């Protein structure tokens, strides 16, 4: 196989694993501090 095809396969596998972890965390109601840190309240 060519290198771009292998890289695409590894990338898709990584995204699949991350998505599975996120779904488990969301289903269990675990707070994810990364997302709460990204969402900032508007300053007045």
Query: Where do the structural domains in the chain lie, given as residue ranges?
Result: 3-30
pLDDT of 7 reads 83
User: Can you give the pLDDT of all 44 residues of the chain as single tens digits?
Assistant: 577 878 888 888 898 988 888 887 777 666 666 655 555 555 55
Exposed, middle or buried, 19 (CB in 10 Å: 0-12/13-18/19+)?
exposed
């Amino acid at each position: 196989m060519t290198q771009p095809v292998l890289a695409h396969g590894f990338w898709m596998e990584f995204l699949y694993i991350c998505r599975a972890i996120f779904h488990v965390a969301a289903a269990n109601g675990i707070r994810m501090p990364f997302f709460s840190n990204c969402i900032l309240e508007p300053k007045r």
